[in-house]
Structures are given as structure tokens and as C-alpha cells.
Structure 1
Amino acid sequence: MKKLALIVVVLGCFALSSCQDFLTESPKDQISTDQLLGSPDAASGLVNGLYRDGQGAGFYNSGGFGGADVMMGGYMSGFFDNEGKGERIQGQVAQDLQVDPEILNQFFDGWWSGHYDVIARANTAIKYIPDMNGFSEDERQRLLAEARFFRALNYFSLVKFFGDVPLITEPIEGLTNIEVARTGSDAVYSQIINDLNWAINEGNLGAQPFPMNNYRITQGAARTLLADVHLQMAGYPLQASEHYADAADAARSVIQAGQHALVEHGETVEESAYNKLRTSDVDPEFVYGIEYNPEIASNDNPRITIPGVIRPPGINYGRTLNAYRPIQEYIWAYDPDVDLRVQNKQLFHNSIEREGQTFEFGEWAPYLWFEEEAIFETGLGGRDIRVYRYAEVLLIAAEAIARSEGVTQEAITYLADVRDRAYWQTDRSAIVAELNGLSEQEFVEEVWKERLRELALNFKVWSDIQRTRQYPVTDEDNKGEIIFEDVIGHSNNWGQTYEEYHLLYPIPDDEIQTNPALEQNPGYN
């Protein structure tokens, strides 16, 4: 049933160490490995608990007014602002490109530790579940596949944002061998690919879309993550271009399976596909996400959809804050004459109507996370956060096919699918005609533009800058036009100039201090 992952959220709070030999009395806030995996139900609970955190507790949920961890990339790009940055400094220092390992130690250490906590639990499941009794073979393989998916997901996040990281694939169950050096990124990626291929080929994963599969990891989710991994490897810093073909194959396998589809528009703009995505957690575009249930663990994102100075009657949050505000330079990426996504109350909004009054924001705020019930009744968000959507699968396929096979009609079709939905009053034939005849580089840049627009609230902008080493430049006088310039030496929208070292985050200072085997990323010493 939906929200199954939340039933065992408490398991994620327990340490997974066996310390009986070290301590004369077992600590009452810990569970030993033997206890935790003492029954099939407990082992299943361990894997179910991985769904709660996804990529570490709080990585996607906005929580405090500093914004969610994943929003850091938007701030680094210079395209997003946080109204609360005077209280939580990470937004300000990111825009200023002053991401110091000591100043932001607590922030990055929570990120780093959260990811490794999930990896540790996945390692425990992967080691012990194969030898446990009480499972059917199908159930055992499924649980192992889910654990491998989450291990891969967390290592992918770490290696993208920090570069070389310690690769740990066994539970650390004592006080020996706890100082682990950084592993080369290529080896980390190899482990990620191995985990995902195992999950796909051996894992007995469901074929249906994520919501229709009881909100459990599916073939489509694993293949989509694999496609994203290969696309990243093909770009910087590895520049292993042979992985474009692998990315194309993985994305194509999701498309050809026929289980996923773009959400279609209804009869009115209020029933647009984007509003359907906002108000529903059950559709075939949903590939993988983080679940929320207001009765157990609520989603805080609704309260960051309204600026703090706007107080419409009946608001049920003591305070709201526009913590992921797209600045004008980002909004200029959309052509307001043809692109539905930039119209009010689609991806973003700039006003709200309440009790016959209209409250103008004077800025844009995310609308995709707006929940009227949460904001005006309960104060508790319940919508899920989508980490991967089918739109991204189509865009990965379009780029990867163009890079590995050329600008084929297949690649054009996938890009046109996404653009056609956004350009809702433009004839599809005109969209296709504009894409026909483009060179490989021209076509790929069109894909990059569509990723910037379509995935605005899926937190891809910084990953794309890292991967392509290209910075998108927009123009107030030519809205919808985007050119790409080398990011190194380019200034962001806050007047700060990027250097090579800015494209990786620093290793948290606490980790450097407690683990002598770690070395800091260049530029942060």
C-alpha cells in the first residue's frame, strides 16, 4: 500500500553497529546487527527504511529556512535565491562562490553523513539478507535490488558533487578499518553501474511505474538512474564519451517498455499537465520520488511557495519563505508567448488569490510544490517529491542518441515530445521542422535548453553545468533565447567568477579532521 516506506521510518534512526564486545552494557538507543536482522520482517524493515531517506534525511525536503540540501546547486548556479539566506548562510555563500569547508562544515557534513548512513544500511542488507531464511527467492532478490538501488543513488550523488569519495561496500561493524581513503571516481562509477545492472537483471523488480508498483523501486527507476549515470560519465570530469551509447540504451529501454508516459493537458490551463503533476502522486510520468504522509512525516515544501511578506488570510504556517526563488535571468529562459511553463500558476506563480483579494508577489516562486490544503488548513504537506520524471528520460535519450548515433528522427521525436507539451499552442510539425537539419552540437544545445526549462524544480541546473562545463546565458530582450558559454571564467548572476575548483564541493572539515586518510579537494586547502 502507499506510504509503506514510512511504516518503519524509526529504523533509520538506529545505529547499525555491533559494539557488545566493546561496551559492558548495550546502549539502549542502538540495535545490533543480529537484532536488526533477526527476522525477515526486521530485514524487510531495514530496506523499507531506505525509502524514507532516499539520499540522506532532509536532502530533498526543505526543512528549515536554509532550503533543502539539494537546492545548494541552484544557489551555486546563481539562478536561484533564498529569501532566508540572511538567517541560513549557505545560500549567500554559494552565490558568492565562497563555499568554504569550515564555514559550511555543518551543512556539508550533514549531507555527507546522511548519504553514508543510507549506504551503511544498504551494505548491511546486501551482506546479510542472502543468508537469511524466511524469504521467498523473489522477495529476497527484490529486497537486495532495492538496497543496491539506494546504494547506487547515494554514491552517484556523492561522486557528482564531491568527486573521489571513499567506496565502502561492506558494513563497518567495529572500530577497525574505519579510516577509508578516497577512491577514484571511475571505480565509484563502476560500482554504481554494477549495482544497477544487478538490480535490473537479478532483482525481480516490478515493471509498472513507481506509483502503480506500490511505490517501490521499479525496472524503470533503476534504468533511469543508470541512464543518468552514463550521461554524467560521458561528460566532465571523466569525459568517457563511450557512455553516451550506454545512456541511450538505458533510456531507450525505459521508453520502449511502454510503461511510462508524459502527463497530458486537460481542457483548461488550470488542468494543464503541470497542474496535474502538482496535485497528483499517481501518474505514469512518475519514475521515482520521495514519499510523504502528513500523518507520519510531512513535506515542508508548501511553505516555501509564498514569499514571507505575503500573508493572505487563513494561512496556516507561522511563517512562509520563498527559499528557492528563480531570479529574472532564469525566467528569461522561457518565451512567454509560447511556453506554458512560465505562465502564472504552472511551474511558478507570482500572485495568489484569497477571499476575493489578489496578492502580488513582485517575484516568482515555485508553484509545483503549492498545496492549498497544507497552506490554508493543515500546515502539513502531503505531496511526494519527484526525483525522476519521464520527461527527463526523454531528454536523456535525445541527447545521448544525438551524441552516439547522430541527430536521428528518434532523437528529434523525444525532444519534440517534451517541447510540444510546453509549447501547447504551437503545431508539433513546426517544432519538428525547427529541429530537423541541426548539427549535432546545435541539437544537443536545444536539449540542454529544454532541460533547463523543463527540469527547473528537479534540481538539475548545477549538475548540468558541472557535466557540460557550459553556463546558460539568457537575454531580457530575447526571452526564450539561451546561449552557452564556458563556465570557467564566467561570472554568475551575482557578479562572481567561476574557477575550476568551484565545480566540486569541499570535503566537510569534520571529515578531514576525523579521517586522516582523506585529502581535501584542490582549491579548498
Structure 2
Amino acid sequence: MKHSIIIIQVFIVAAIFTSTSCTKFLQETPKSNMPASEYYQTTEQALSALNYLYDKGTGIPSFYSVRGGLYDASNSFTFDNMSGLANNVVAQNTSIRNFASLTQGPDNCANYLGGIWRNFYSSIADANSIIANVENNGNINAEAQKKILATAKFFRAANYYYLIRLFGAVPLILKPYTSLDNIYMPRTSVDSVYNSITEDLNWALTNGMLADVPMGFNGNNISRGTVQVMLSEVYLTMAGYPLQKGVEYYKKALNTAKELLNSGGGYALFTSSGRLTPFDKLRLSDYDKGSEYLFFIEYDPSIQQSPFPQYSFPNTFPSPIPSTNLKIQYSLVLSTWTPSTQLLKMYDSANDIRRHEKQFYSTSFVYKSTASSDDTAISFSAMPYRWYDSAALFMTGASGKYTAIYRMADAYLIAAEAANELGEDPTPYLQPIIHRAYINMPAIPGDAAGRKNFILAERCRELAMEGHFWFDMLRTRLYPDVSGTNPTFSALIGHSNGRGQFYTTKDLLLPLPPTEMQRNPNLQPQNPMYE
């Protein structure tokens, strides 16, 4: 578990005091804070600052962490909800309900939007401070310096990657603020921000001396594979909407993903062993540091627990369970993320192991009661079994299960999609995914359009619960038409979200937070159709 020992703060004097009687008081050095210019004197200090980038309070970890309360859960849940492929039927924050009904706006979602914006920019500010103070720092040994810079640049790029997809053009800030100069930065073009993202990620790959092993093999620090999977997805996104850079960037996406897939660093999809399926291993915390995970959020039951087991049972689940000694150890279990009907229809319930009971989803809890020798079942609508943790639920009330952001499955599916867009056969990249997912491997369509539908559907099926639904819709501008287990995809704009509302061009970007626009008039104009 990483611990951040100190947060670096930059102090700006905003007023000049002329009273001589206060001179000595004003010259007092703060005891609990240290300006950046006096920090970064050792490698240990730099690493301490770096660890804060992994903290769940800001940036990417914040986006995937439950911070607004159990009913509202994470930002990633909100955008899964917006996609219509998942539901939050208990959300208390009206902003989340507005996203679900496509009625979001700058006024009715102001605080929620501001929270997303501030969390990403806070992490960017920390990364900028680390980069500025570690570059050319003679107090830090060369190898450690490169690894620190690679990690900071990775997180800076990752934060901008989320901001640019959600808000469009945003201010590109690459240096820490040390004065009030240039604090009202204008929005930078989407193309320029993406160029900065790829520059940071490529620097990390080329110069960062990152370990070429899965993240869990690297002390839970980002590795070369972490950077590669994100860079390949960035290229895939740049090839699609809104930039539509096409063939050149599909090639970059494919080549970057292939470098990862062909690495000798021990990256690998989970496979069956004994009675465990690969999908059991995705659920069990014993495998959190395994070969499949490329980027995750770390939890520790003794320090900071994962709340996600509470989402594996509906809020109607009885506790204690009648005629047993079983009692849920949490105060709440909630239906905060549930698969939509159309998502469940995308799985072949007989042939797709992921859809089998207690793989990705569950519809019952079976137990022995003291009143009967037979098994007793509590039935409910499909819930996410990926987050089920029996020990935490029924014994400790504390889970250490990590949260996956990128896995090797992402790399295979990115390569498959890019290859297909280039007119190449995606089968070598699809086969490892479908071989482990199906009892009998389904036929891969022979035409490019059919293969595209198949690949996009596999992304929905395989990467469910990992926050990809809405971002895939934004970059492809496509939405699944589900009448069976082989969905086709049609235009996102004008498509129903499954709740009676229809997507418009307004929904392609979020409105900029009004508080930020009031602070910084250079953010004008507001995103289209939110004026």
C-alpha cells in the first residue's frame, strides 16, 4: 500500500502588509507546510510526492472510487448509467439522475461537474510540480529520476485523456503555478491536447526505464504495460471521433498493442485452473496482482477498504438471513450498478461462461438454513458478481479487492478493432478472448462490418463494470441494437438510451462547470447546446 507523506504546496503572497508591528509575525516560517523549492532534496521525498498521484482523492483513482456516498458511487458508474447499459436505481444525487435521463446541464449538474474538473486538474497540478522539480535535479539518482518522471507524465496524460473526452477543448497546463501570471488559461484545441497526451506517454515508454511486467509484479506501481495499453487506446480514440485521424492512428494503436501482446514481461490473460474459471480469478482478491492486470486502484482492508462488495446484492437482500447465522456485515447493500436488459441480452446465456450464474453476474444467493436440509435460495434481478466478496460481506465488513481499470483483455480487443479497421484479420487477437469466454467458440463474421459489430459487442460483454461503455460510444458514435446475442451497431445520435430519451449532439460533451467559467472568463464559449 502506498502512503503519501507530504503534500507540496506553493504559496503566493496576494497582499502586501505595511504595518511594521507585524513584520516579525509575517516572517514566521510555516511549520506544517513546505514550499516546493525546499522539497525534492532526496529520492525519498520525490517518491513520497509521486505516491500522491495514486491516491483516491484526485484524478483517475478518484474517477473510479466511491467518494460521493454509497448511493451515488463513482463517476465511472454515472457514465455507465448515461450509456443506458447499466442502471443506478438508488442514486440520490440529482445530477446522476439528470445524466441518466440526458437532461444534464451546467446549472442542474454544477457541483458534480465541478468535482470532476477539480479532481483531474488537482492531479495534473501535482504531476506538473513533480516534473518541474525532478527534471535536472542533481539530488536524485538518474534511474529513479527517469522512473519518477515517467510516472508523473503518465498520470498527467491520463488525466488529460479523461478531461478531453468528457469536456472537449480544455486548458493545457504543463507547468506549476508559482505566481498569479497566466492563471486564466484559454481552452486548448482538442488536437493539441491529444498531442500532449501522446508526447507524455511516448516519453514514458522511451525514456522512463519502467519495468516491463504487470502492475502487480511491480510493487503496484505503473509499468511499461500500463503505459502501452493506455497509449494504444488513445491512438484508437484519435483514429475515431472527434478527430477522425483514421488509418495512420489505427496503425499506431495496433502496433502499440502488439508490442504489449508480444512482450516477454509475463503479461497474460487469466486461464482456468482446477475448479476456478478465469472469471473467478477476476473476482478473487488473491489474483489482484496477477498477470492480467495492467492498471488498477489498490485497496487494503486494514487501511482503506473497497466498498464494491456492497454492490453485489440488491437493497432488498435480507439481513440477517432467516433461519441462519448469516448477517451482512455492512450497514447497506445497494443496487447502485446493475446491468440493463439490453446488456444482458448481448450474452449467450448458455454458451457464454461470463453470463453463467456467479461469473460476471448472479441472480440468487443459495444457503443452508437451520429449518431445512435442502438448499434455500434468495432470488433477485441480475447483480454484479465481479464485486462479490464473501469474507467481507459476512465476516469482516472490510474488503481489499482492487478495482480494475485496464486488463490484458483491453489490449487484445484494441488490437482486434484496429486490425479490422485496417482491413486485416482480427482473429489472432479475438481468439484468446472468445476461447476462454465460450464453451463453443462462436464464428467470427467474414465481413469487416460484421466483425466490427462482433468486436464492439465483445467489448461490452468483456469489459462490463470497468467504465468503458460511454467512452466507446463517444469515440465510435455507435450504439448497440440488441435483439439477440449478436447485436448490430447504429448511429448514437438519435438513438434511444433505453429509457425513453434520445441522444443528441449536446450529449457528446459535458457542459463546462459554471464555477470554473465564472473564475476564468477565457473558458468561454460554453460547449454547444448548453448556452
TM-score normalised by structure 1 residue count: 0.92
Aligned to 1:407: 424
Match of residue 129, structure 1, among 111, 134, 148 = 134
**Contact preservation (8 Å) 2:87, 2:337:** yes
Query: How many angstroms apart in 1 are the aligned matches of 2:403 and 2:503?
Result: 30
Does residue 392 in structure 1 map to residue 414 in structure 2?
Answer: no
**Contact preservation (8 Å) 1:72, 1:90:** no
CA deviations on 1:108-142 (whole Å, 9 max, x unpaired) are 11111001111101001111102323322111100
Aligned to 1:37: 40
CA deviations on 1:74-126 (whole Å, 9 max, x unpaired) are 111112111322x2223321121011112111111111100111110100111
Computed over aligned residues only, the root mean square deviation of the Cα atoms, in angstroms, reads 1.8
Query: How many angstroms apart in 2 are the aligned matches of 1:376 and 1:254?
Result: 39
Does residue 282 in structure 1 map to residue 295 in structure 2?
Answer: no
393-402 or 28-37: bigger deviation: 28-37
Q: Alpha-carbon deviation of 1:354?
A: 4.3
Structural mapping, 1:244-323, within 5 Å: 244-258=250-264, 259-268=266-275, 271-279=276-284, 280-313=287-320, 314-323=327-336
Query: How many angstroms apart in 2 are the aligned matches of 1:141 and 1:22?
Result: 39
**Contact preservation (8 Å) 2:353, 2:437:** yes
Where 2:10 maps in the other structure, the secondary structure is coil
356-365 or 59-68: bigger deviation: 356-365
Aligned to 2:444: 435
**Contact preservation (8 Å) 1:83, 1:321:** no
Cα pair distance change 1:444/1:110, threshold 3 Å: same
Cα pair distance change 1:361/1:73, threshold 3 Å: farther
Cα pair distance change 1:19/1:465, threshold 3 Å: same
Aligned to 1:350: 363
Query: How many angstroms apart in 2 are the aligned matches of 1:236 and 1:312?
Result: 47
Aligned to 2:105: 100
Query: How many angstroms apart in 2 are the aligned matches of 1:252 and 1:56?
Result: 25
AA aligned opposite 1:62: V
CA deviations on 1:7-49 (whole Å, 9 max, x unpaired) are 21x54xx463233575846667654213443433221111111
Match of residue 242, structure 2, among 232, 237, 243 = 237
Query: How many angstroms apart in 1 are the aligned matches of 2:377 and 2:15?
Result: 61
Q: Alpha-carbon deviation of 1:266?
A: 2.7
Cα pair distance change 1:115/1:422, threshold 3 Å: same
AA aligned opposite 1:389: R
Q: Alpha-carbon deviation of 1:441?
A: 2.1
Aligned to 1:48: 51
Query: How many angstroms apart in 2 are the aligned matches of 1:22 and 1:98?
Result: 43
Query: How many angstroms apart in 2 are the aligned matches of 1:342 and 1:92?
Result: 28
Residue segments in structure 1 that go unaligned for 5+ positions in a row: none
AA aligned opposite 2:409: A
Does residue 146 in structure 1 map to residue 151 in structure 2?
Answer: yes
Where 1:131 maps in the other structure, the secondary structure is coil
Structural mapping, 1:450-469, within 5 Å: 450-469=458-477
Query: How many angstroms apart in 2 are the aligned matches of 1:37 and 1:20?
Result: 22
322-331 or 149-158: bigger deviation: 322-331
**Contact preservation (8 Å) 1:181, 1:518:** yes
Aligned to 1:61: 65
Q: Alpha-carbon deviation of 1:337?
A: 1.5
Residue segments in structure 2 that go unaligned for 5+ positions in a row: 17-25, 321-326, 370-374
Aligned to 2:324: none
Does residue 417 in structure 1 map to residue 435 in structure 2?
Answer: no
Query: How many angstroms apart in 2 are the aligned matches of 1:99 and 1:15?
Result: 35
CA deviations on 1:349-403 (whole Å, 9 max, x unpaired) are 1222345474535311111111122222222221111110001100000111121
**Contact preservation (8 Å) 1:465, 1:487:** yes
**Contact preservation (8 Å) 2:61, 2:297:** no
AA aligned opposite 2:366: E
Query: How many angstroms apart in 1 are the aligned matches of 2:170 and 2:363?
Result: 41
Q: Alpha-carbon deviation of 1:514?
A: 1.2
CA deviations on 1:450-481 (whole Å, 9 max, x unpaired) are 00100011111111111111110212xx3x12
Aligned to 2:527: 521
Q: Which structure is larger by alpha-carbon Rg, 1 or 2?
A: 2
Aligned to 1:471: 479
Match of residue 485, structure 1, among 486, 490, 513 = 490
Where 2:529 maps in the other structure, the secondary structure is coil
AA aligned opposite 1:515: N
Does residue 445 in structure 1 map to residue 445 in structure 2?
Answer: no
Aligned to 1:373: 391
Query: How many angstroms apart in 2 are the aligned matches of 1:505 and 1:28?
Result: 41
AA aligned opposite 2:292: E
Cα pair distance change 1:450/1:39, threshold 3 Å: same
Cα pair distance change 1:249/1:77, threshold 3 Å: same
The size of the alignment, in residue pairs, is 502
